[in-house]
Homo-oligomer: A and B are copies of this chain.
Amino acid sequence: MICEIAQLEVMQGKEAEFKSAIDAAIPLFKRARGCQGLRVMRSQEFPSRYWLIVDWISTEDHTVHFRTSPDHAEWHRLVRPFFSERPKVEHAEVIAESIAP
């Protein structure tokens, strides 16, 4: 499985609106080809920083199929107004995973 790891910097004071946009955007990911789930987190050390982690079956599910879809345009329409800088996005392969205990 491949994870998309996106570091999102949000304009100060726009965090609540950004959260509403995220809630509206979740169905876009849930119905995307190859999407296995997603998680959005807010940094404690940098409260205007958010992390989006999306599990995809393959990298191409994100970089090809999702990015060329109308749902991706809608995702951008919803969240881009709140970014203070360009998101840092990379992909990573899960090499170990464990549920405790």
Residues of A within 8 A of B (CB): 2-3, 5, 19, 22-23, 26, 29-32, 35-46, 49-51, 53, 55, 59, 90-101
Q: Do B44 and A98 have beta carbons less than 8 Å apart?
A: no
Given contacts A44-B93, A45-B90, A90-B43, contact A98 B30 (CB under 8 A): yes
Q: Report the minimum CB–CB distance from A42 to chain B (whole Å).
A: 5
Main secondary structure of the interface of A (DSSP, over half): strand
Given contacts A51-B5, A51-B92, A92-B51, contact A98 B42 (CB under 8 A): no
- With the chains together, A22 CA to B91 CA distance in Å? 19
Give 4 closest A-B pairs by Cβ, nearest first.
A41-B92, A40-B96, A37-B99, A35-B100
Q: A39, A42, A100 — which one has the most chain B CB atoms within 10 A of its CB?
A: A100
